[in-house]
Amino acid sequence: METILKIIRIFKSFLLDIGELSLFAGRFFKEVLKRPFEFKEFIRQCYNMGNRSLLLVAVTGFIIGLVFTLQSRPTLQEFGAVSWMPAMVSISIIREIGPIITALICAGRIGSGIGAELGSMKVTEQIDAMEVSGTNPFKYLVVTRILATTFMLPILVLLGDAIALYGSYLVENTKGNISFLLYFNKVAEALEFGDLIPATIKSFFFGFAIGLVGCFKGYNCKKGTAGVGLAANSAVVFTSMLLFIIDFIAVFVTDIFYDL
Amino acid sequence: METFQYNTESIIEIKNLKKSYGENHVLNGFNMNLVEGENLVIMGKSGSGKSVMIKCLIGLEDPDSGTICVMGKDISQLKHDELDELRTEVGFLFQGSALYDSMTVRENLEFPLRRHTKKFGVIKDTTPLVMEALENVGLANTINLMPEELSGGMKRRIALARTLILQPKIILYDEPTTGLDPITAKEIILLMISIQKKYNTSSIIITHDVDCARAISNRMILLVDGINYVEGTFEEIIALNDPKIQAFFK
Ligand SMILES: Nc1ncnc2c1ncn2[C@@H]1O[C@H](COP(=O)(O)OP(=O)(O)O)[C@@H](O)[C@H]1O
Ligand SMILES: [Mg+2]
C-alpha cells in the first residue's frame, strides 16, 4: 500500500511538472518572436555548449562505433555476412544510437549545467538584477539557451555519427582489411535521406527538450543552495525521461511516413 | 546624524500594501513614505517581508493590493517601457550583491548602461563612466577581475558602483551590511553616506544592523507583523518601552 501511494505521488508530481513545463514552453514561443533578439548572447551560448560537450561527444561516439562493431562482428561472421557490417552499423548509428547517446550526454553535461547556472542566478538575485537593468531575463537567459541547444544538438549528433562510423571503420580496416573508400561507399549505399532526415528532426526536438527542461528547473529554482543542486539534478532526470518519450513518439511518426 | 529638515513632498509613497504567498501573509497593510534627500531605515527581523516590500516597490513582485507611487507615478499602472525608465531613477542594491558571476567587473558595470538605452542612448565608450563609478567606491584597480576573485566587501562596493552608474535619484539598499565583518560594514556605511552627500540621493535602507541604523538614519520604520509597527527617529524609537521594539536593540 505504502509503495503504491508513493508511486502515485511520484506520477502525480511528474504530470504536474509536465503541465508547468508546457506553460513554460508556451512562454518561450511567445517571447522568442519579440524584439529585441539577443543575438550576441545566443552565439555565446552556442559556443559554450559546443565547447563543453564536443570532446565528450567525440570520445563517446568513437568508442561506441568501435565497440559496437567489435561486438557484432562474430555474429555476422557466423552468417557469413561481414560485408554487411558498414550498412548495419551506419543505419543503427544514424537512426538511433547517435542521436540518443549524444542527447543523453548533453542532458548530463549541458542540461544540468543550465539548471545549476540559472538556479544559482535565481537564488543570488542576479535574475532580479537583470530585470531592473532594462533587460528581460527570460529572453536574455532562457530563450537564448533553448535556441542554442536546439540548433547545436543536431550538429553535435552529426559529428558524433561521423566519429562513430570512423571508429567502426578502424575495426573493419584492421580485422577485415577493408579500405576507407570501400567502407564509406558501402555506408553511402546503405543510407538514404529517409534515415538522415528523421534523425535530424528528432535531434532538434532532443535539443529543445534539453534546453527547455534545464531552463525550467533553473528558472523555478527554490531558494537556498540546496535548491540549486536539486535544480541541476532533476533537470537531468526529467530530461532523460523526456528524451525517451520523444524517441518513442519519433519512431511511430517515422513509421507512418515510411508506410506512405 | 543631524536632524533632517522636512520640507518637500514624498517621492515614494506606499499605502496599505498587502502581499501573501499562499497562507503566508507577509505584508498586511504596510504604509510608508520617503521624502526627498532623506535616509529612511526600515528594520525588521529576518523573514518579516522587508525584501518582498522593497521588491514590490520596483515592480519585481506584484502586490495583492495597495498602491505604490514612485516619483508621482503609480507603478501598477505603468507600461513595461515606462517601468524600465523609472528603474533608471531607482537604484537597487541587492542583498547578496548579485554581481553577474559570468562577467568581469567592467562588464557588470556596463550591463545596465548598455541595456537602458532609453536614458543613455547608445554609448560608444563606457570606460569613463565605468571608471568614475569604480573610483567612487575606491576600487578602480579591479576593473578586469571576475566577481569570484573579490572579497565580500569588495563585491558589495562593486554592486554599489553598478547601482550608481545609472545616476539614480533614489537608492534602495537591501541589507547593505549583512554578511560583512564589522569593520567592512562600517566602511560600507561611510561610503553610503558619502555617496548620499555627493549625489544628493534619497535612500531606503533595509537592515537589522543597529549600528548601521544609528549611523545613517534620519527616520526609521519598524516592520513587525507585516505592518509599519512604529515610526520615528532612532533616538525616539530606542527610548520606547515596548518589548517587541526592545528586542531589536539588545
Ligand atoms: N517568491 C516567494 N515565494 C514564496 N514565499 C516567499 C517568496 N519570497 C518571499 N517569500 C516569503 O516571504 C517572507 C518574507 O521574505 P523576505 O521579504 O525575503 O524576508 P526578509 O525580511 O528577511 O527580507 C518569508 O517567509 C519568505 O518565505
Ligand atoms: Mg531580505
What is the tens place of the pLDDT at every residue in A156-165?
Answer: 999 999 999 9
Q: Is the peptide bond before B176 cis (omega within 30 degrees of 0)?
A: no
Q: How would you list the strands of the sheet with B170-174, edge to edge?
A: B90-93, B170-174, B202-207, B39-43, B219-224, B227-232
Helix axes A225-259, A98-106, angle to 10 degrees: 160
Ligand 1 atom at shortest distance from the alpha carbon of B48: 21
**pLDDT for B8:** 66
Q: Which residue, among B212, B88, B208, B94, has the nearest Cα to B158 in the 3D structure?
A: B94
- Listing from the earlier edge strand, what are the strands of the sheet with B73-74? B24-35, B10-21, B65-70, B73-74
* A17 belongs to a structural domain: no
Ramachandran angles phi, psi of A37, nearest 5°: -85, 125
Cell numbers 518637500 correspond to B8
What does the DSSP assignment read for A145-195?
HHHHHHHHHHHHHHHHHHHHHHHHHHHHHHHH---HHHHHHHHHHH--HHH
Tens digits of residue pLDDT in B125-141: 888 899 999 998 999 89
How do residues A206-231 score in pLDDT, each as one tens digit?
Answer: 999 999 999 999 999 988 778 899 99
| Interchain contact B89–A (C-beta under 8 A) | no
Q: Is the pLDDT of residue B70 over 90?
A: yes
Beta carbons of B76 and B67 less than 8 angstroms apart? yes
CB nearest B115 (choices: A117, A120, A133): A133
Chain A neighbors of B100, CB-CB under 8 A: 121, 126, 129-130
**Does residue A128 sit within a domain?**
yes
Global confidence as pTM = 0.90
Of residues B70 and A1, the one with the higher pLDDT is: B70
Task: Identify the domain containing residue A215 by its residue range.
Answer: 36-251
Residues near ligand 1 with C-beta < 6 Å? Answer: B 21, 24, 26, 44, 46-52
- pLDDT, residue A260, reads 63
Q: Can you read off the three cell numbers belonging to residue A105?
A: 550526454
The average pLDDT across A226-246 equals 92
pLDDT at position B154, please? 93
In a domain, residue A209? The reply is: yes
Q: Does residue B117 register a pLDDT over 80? A: no
- pLDDT of A211 reads 97
Which chain A residues in 155-194 lie under 8 Å from chain B, judged by CB atoms? none
Distance (Å) from CA A131 to ligand 1 centroid: 19
B237 CA from centroid of ligand 2 (Å)? 22
Question: How many contacts does A have with B, using Cβ atoms within 8 A?
Answer: 45
- The DSSP call for residue B59 is T
Residue A58 in this model has a pLDDT that exceeds 70: yes
Contacts with A121 (C-beta within 8 Å, 6 or more apart), sequence order: A127, A141, A218, B100
Q: What is the CATH code of the structural domain delimited by B10-244?
A: 3.40.50.300
* Neighbouring C-beta atoms of residue B41, cutoff 10 Å: 24
Ligand closest to CA B26: 1
Helices then strands (H, E): number in chain A? 11, 0
Cβ separation B94–A134 shorter than 8 A: no
In a domain, A21, yes or no: no
In terms of phi and psi (left: phi > 0; alpha: psi -120 to 50; beta: otherwise), the region of A176 is alpha
CA A134 to CA B33: how far, in whole Å? Answer: 25
Residue A151 is assigned to a structural domain of this protein: yes
pLDDT per position as a tens digit, A124-144: 999 999 999 989 999 999 999
Q: Residue A142 falls within a domain, yes or no?
A: yes
Calculate what percentage of chain A has a pLDDT beyond 70: 99
Ligand 1 atom at minimal distance to the Cα of residue B49: 17
> What's the structural domain count of chain A?
1
Per-residue pLDDT at A121: 95
Q: Whose CA is nearest to atom 26 of ligand 1?
A: B47
